[in-house]
Amino acid sequence: MSLERVPFELSKDYLDLVLQAVEQHDDAFIRDTMDGVNPADISALLDEVDTDEARYVLDVLNNEVSAEVIEELEEDTRKEFLEELEPEEIAKYIVEMESDDAVDIINDLPVKTREEVIAAIDDPESAAHIQELMRYDEDCAGGLMAKEMIVANINWTIDQTIEEIRRQAENVKKIYSIYVVDDKGKLKGRVSIKKIILANDETHIKDIYEDDIIHVETYMDEEEVADIMQKYDLDAVPVVNLQGRLVGRITIDDVIDVITDQAEEDRQLMSGISSDVEEDDTIWAISKARLPWLIIGMIGSTLGALTMGVFEQELDKYVTLVFFIPMLMATGGNVGIQSSTLIIQSLTNRSNFEESLSKRLLKMLFTAILTGLVLALFSFVIVLLWKGSDQIQFAMVVGAAIVGVTMLASIMGTITPLVLDKLDVNPAIASGPFITTTNDILGIIVYLAIANLLLP
């Protein structure tokens, strides 16, 4: 019995219909309802089914669509799925992908399976491209680039170029630019499709191409590539080797992945997670990533308690001092994180990081003074309202401590990321637990020292 044709939607009801279609071998339902649907939506649906059911759906769809769906699958789901396929089956999907995406997937396979998949690829050019890209580390420009692109020789006529574009475009999903090379394959520039369309058939490429072109080298770090593409607002950038020969291109979708991964890594570091983990990782993996900074935080809190022990007599006399310690610690932590976040943003965008250290510290100092005075006035009023107008001296202690803590936290939040950056350590580590813990200890010392000086 054929199922009723319904529109595709990411819902439990539609998923149940797909599972029913798989069970009944209703290929028409799967093919008709998924026709024209974005592969990312299909992959989101298949993430909810088991491997055999996903395999059945992909076998029903055409190979090109199935390949895109596989690319979009969650990494763990895709790994489990590919483990169930024969090398020949994987190869039929790999050949439909752009070379950079194909390499990313093949590199996740066991070594023996990789070799078998490459051997099963019936397109020699695709196999050669994949083997070439596998030589590069995944975190450099060579590991990001794809081999599929449109290339024109500088000596070709427009007529020759158009014929070559028709031939090459079969393997290129998106045409951003037509790159121009000389007889030795060295990158010379680019030419727009608009210029080609408007030019006479006998015009030569060398007469209309633009030689001012931004490019990257194969060995360049992926974050540098992302910075360049962001700075110059590029949809694609050509990649050259040490001899200047054009070897590939990097497109904006690959760079977005890099930016997303980096942002996720920085966010985890700033929150005190020391390695790349996700919610669905094992309990031990998540715990191991969290524990280092939590232990450091506990050590810092212990040192803070020991510091308070030094001023035990003062605390015995003025128990009220204890009430304001959480406020001071929270203020110092927040100011430190705010300062470090601004510095990390500047370090990320190097083009904006042109001020000298002395100017930046001076700017930070005046900002901290202004911020501290406002917060001090606010805390002064709170103390008087709470404890009474006869506690002006105590209110002055809290206010002075707020100014001191704010300035100290700003200095720590500014200098620490800069020092870590000079030591080639990710400055995102400076935020979160590290600065917060340090500011807690120093804040307590400042607060109780001021109290010891000003209170009788």
Mean per-residue pLDDT, 149-163:
93
pLDDT at residue 92, as a whole number: 93
12-136 has CATH 1.25.60.10 classification: yes
Among residues 61, 45, 17, 31, the alpha carbon closest in space to that of 1 is found at 17
Terminal CA-CA length for the chain: 92
pLDDT at residue 447, as a whole number: 85
What's the pLDDT score for residue 221?
92
Strand partners, 431: none
Residue range 283-454 forms a domain whose CATH class is: mainly alpha
Residue 278 has pLDDT above 80, yes or no: no
- Residue 274 predicted with pLDDT over 60: no
Average pLDDT, the chain: 84
Name the least confident of 57-66, 107-116, 291-300, 413-422.
291-300
Q: Averaged over 277-293, what is the pLDDT?
A: 67
Angle (nearest 5°) at CA 269 between 267 and 272: 110
pLDDT at position 412: 84
Domains of the chain by residue range: 12-136, 150-261, 283-454
What angle separates helix 99-106 from helix 63-72, to the nearest 10 degrees?
Answer: 60
Least confident of 167-171, 273-277, 370-374: 273-277
Helix axes 12-24, 51-60, angle to 10 degrees: 80
CA-closest candidate to residue 343, choices 416, 259, 433: 416
Q: What share of the chain is helix, strand, coil (3-state, %, to 5)?
A: 65, 5, 25
Q: Which has more confidence, 273 or 114?
A: 114
pLDDT (mean) for 280-302:
71
pLDDT at 289 over 70: no
pLDDT the model gives residue 183: 94
* 3-state secondary structure at position 412: helix
How far, in Å, CA of 191 to CA of 212, rounded? 11
Average pLDDT over residues 8-21: 89
Q: What is the assigned CATH class of domain 150-261? A: alpha beta
What was the pLDDT predicted at 344? 74
Express each pLDDT in 400-415 by its tens digit: 889 988 888 888 888 8
Lowest-confidence region among 99-108, 162-171, 273-282: 273-282
pLDDT the model gives residue 351: 46
What sign results for the dihedral spanned by CA atoms 151, 154, 156, 158? positive
What is the structure's pLDDT at 368? 84
Per-residue model confidence (pLDDT) at position 268: 61
* 316-351 tens-digit pLDDT: 667 777 778 888 888 887 888 788 777 777 776 654
**Residue 102 corresponds to which tokens in the numbers above?**
């194909």
Which tops the pLDDT comparison, 38 or 267?
38
Average pLDDT of the residues in 90-116: 92
CB-CB neighbours of 424 under 10 Å: 6
pLDDT band at 67 (very low <50, low <70, confident <90, very high): very high
Query: Which of 234-243, 295-304, 432-441 has maximum average pLDDT?
Result: 234-243
Q: Indicate the pTM of the whole model.
A: 0.66
Higher-pLDDT residue of 279 and 364 is 364
CA angle 42, 44, 48 (to 5 degrees): 110
With tokens 């008709």, the residue in question is 32
Q: What pairing do the DSSP bridges indicate for beta strands 236-240 and 246-251?
A: antiparallel
Beta carbons of 246 and 239 less than 8 angstroms apart: yes
Burial class, 266, CB count within 10 angstroms (exposed 0-12 / middle 13-18 / buried 19+): middle
